[in-house]
Amino acid sequence: MSDAERPTDDGAPGDDEFEPIQVFPEAEEMDLRPGADNCYKCSTCDTNCPVAEVDDEFPGPKFQGPEQWRLKRQDDQDIDDSVMKCSNCMRCDSACPSDVPLSQMHNTARGEYVEEQMDTFSREYVRNRILANYRRLAPLGAAFPRTTNFVMGLSVTQWLGEKVLGITGEREFPAFATETFREWWTARGGAQVRNEDKRIAYFHGCYANYNTPEVAKALVRVYEHFGYEIMVPEQHCSGTPMFANGMLEDARRSAETNVRELAAALEEGADIVASCSSCSMSLRQEYPELFDFDGTEDVAENTWDAVEYLRVHEDLEGELEGTSVGDEFEDFAYHAPCHARNQGLDGQTTEVLSAIEGVDAHDVGDSCSGISGTYGWKAENYETSMKIGAEMFDHMEDADATAGLTECPTCSMQMEHGTGYEITHTLEVLEAALVGAATEAGAQ
């Protein structure tokens, strides 16, 4: 569906159409100094930075972005190593009143730092490369999920991970599913609905494929309930953990595959839908900021969050009126991920779920969860990530709920880690309300 054909509903998130931040046309070869000159040092980005709030040694996004690029006008000026302390939450982007592309500056600065200044034989580089390329290791774990889960759950494994690689031993590794989403998709025979007029290409990402296929299955069942034909194209990691770790060449290789496959799906009349807020953010904003492959802009302009898409293209709230989920779910403490807020999607989940009888999602505020993907998995960042998340933990425990809700997989890890609550994805609640009876009966 072309951008001009996008329907909108009054009050729906689609009213303020998401526009990826423009790379400055006068800049050449990612020279972001024109953007740096737009910064007038108001420090709004610094006051909205969750890392700077709890870490006095972190200079903040203003230094990491505009000031860093101003310093680059001196040829002998290296990128400051503090750029690796940025969590890539991207809250500074939405905070800046001058629309300075701060996260774009941070991503390019990290990439330059890693390529030119980081020792590729160092423990930090090896650890970061492993964390950034989860998709390359996940198939090995998924091939023998029970064995992998047992080994990764051993305290000695966690101890070795911290001592040898610098991966915190305070967190439990996420479990691999016994059947990946793509295995399930193949076993069921792929799409069960054929509809040339309503077709989506599902970008499921790594985590929903290898660790939480129930989220991806929920999306399939909910969208088929609305009559959509679902395509599941070949795909690599969205690149989010690679951007956060300065592995831009790795991100480029993944992005090339994703843009090629998703652009082909657009040619077949599909829109792109993601169930992970970081994946949709990457496709919508980071791709057009950092890459210029053919089709990149088209992919960005036609990528949607899964719930957002149904609100704009269907009467989602109307369909949910009068539905219930019985005793399957209790009230939720809902956390809107930073990457969802950056897309203007905060508030939509609580509004949508209010239509379901017996379900109440309590928004726990706009604080960051603190884990920010791979950031909170690094031993040197663990305490900082927990300090950042403390406000969210307190609000969750104060809410009239004993379970958590979010759309971000790593936020989900942090929420569970900090409170002990079971965490659910919004799509799972929609599935229970709209197609719950059929799912319980064993429908594929």
pLDDT band at 444 (very low <50, low <70, confident <90, very high): low
Please give the Cα distance from 388 to 84 (Å, whole number).
Answer: 17
| Shared-domain flag, residues 131 and 103 | no
What is the structure's pLDDT at 156? 97
| Shared-domain flag, residues 192 and 308 | yes
In a domain, 302, yes or no: yes
What is the structure's pLDDT at 4? 41
Contact 203, 235 (CB under 8 A): yes
Please give the Cα distance from 177 to 180 (Å, whole number).
Answer: 6
Domain that holds residue 156: 123-165
| Shared-domain flag, residues 200 and 258 | yes
In a domain, 30, yes or no: no
* 3-state secondary structure (DSSP) of residue 434: helix
Please give the Cα distance from 259 to 347 (Å, whole number).
Answer: 29
Structure tokens at 388: 């950042």
Give 334's DSSP letter. E
What average pLDDT score do residues 335-349 get? 95
In a domain, 358, yes or no: yes
Q: DSSP per residue over 281-292, as a string?
A: HIIIIIHHHH--
What is the structure's pLDDT at 293? 92
- pLDDT tens, position by position, 416-430: 999 999 999 999 999
Contact 39, 71 (CB under 8 A): no
In a domain, 270, yes or no: yes
- Angstrom CA distances, 221 to 170, 236, 328, 349, stand at 36, 23, 17, 18
Domain final position from 135, 165, 195? 165
| Shared-domain flag, residues 104 and 130 | no
pLDDT band at 18 (very low <50, low <70, confident <90, very high): very low
| Shared-domain flag, residues 369 and 402 | yes
Q: What's the total number of domains in the chain?
A: 4
Contact 242, 133 (CB under 8 A): yes
* 3-state secondary structure (DSSP) of residue 403: strand
Please determine, for residue 110, whether its predicted confidence score (pLDDT) is greater than 80.
Answer: yes
| Shared-domain flag, residues 209 and 304 | yes
- pLDDT tens, position by position, 157-210: 999 999 999 999 999 999 999 999 999 999 999 999 999 999 999 999 999 999
**pTM to 2 decimal places:** 0.90
State the DSSP H helix or E strand holding residue 312, giving kind and residue range, or none if neither: helix 306-313
What is the structure's pLDDT at 28? 42
pLDDT band at 147 (very low <50, low <70, confident <90, very high): very high
| Shared-domain flag, residues 306 and 185 | yes
What average pLDDT score do residues 7-33 get? 46
| Shared-domain flag, residues 139 and 102 | no
In a domain, 32, yes or no: no
| Shared-domain flag, residues 402 and 370 | yes
| Identity at 198, one-letter amino acid code | K
| Shared-domain flag, residues 342 and 423 | yes
Please give the Cα distance from 286 to 294 (Å, whole number).
Answer: 15
In a domain, 348, yes or no: yes
| Shared-domain flag, residues 147 and 87 | no
What is the structure's pLDDT at 69? 78
Contact 63, 39 (CB under 8 A): no
What is the structure's pLDDT at 280? 98
Please determine, for residue 144, whether its predicted confidence score (pLDDT) is greater than 90.
Answer: yes
**Among candidates 192, 146, 194, which has minimal Cα distance to 438?**
192
pLDDT band at 33 (very low <50, low <70, confident <90, very high): low
* Average model confidence (pLDDT) across the chain: 90
| Shared-domain flag, residues 327 and 309 | no
What is the structure's pLDDT at 74? 63
Contact 100, 35 (CB under 8 A): yes
In a domain, 13, yes or no: no
**Among candidates 248, 245, 249, 242, which has minimal Cα distance to 124?**
245
Please determine, for residue 275, whether its predicted confidence score (pLDDT) is greater than 70.
Answer: yes
In a domain, 129, yes or no: yes
- Angstrom CA distances, 224 to 164, 218, 264, stand at 46, 10, 21
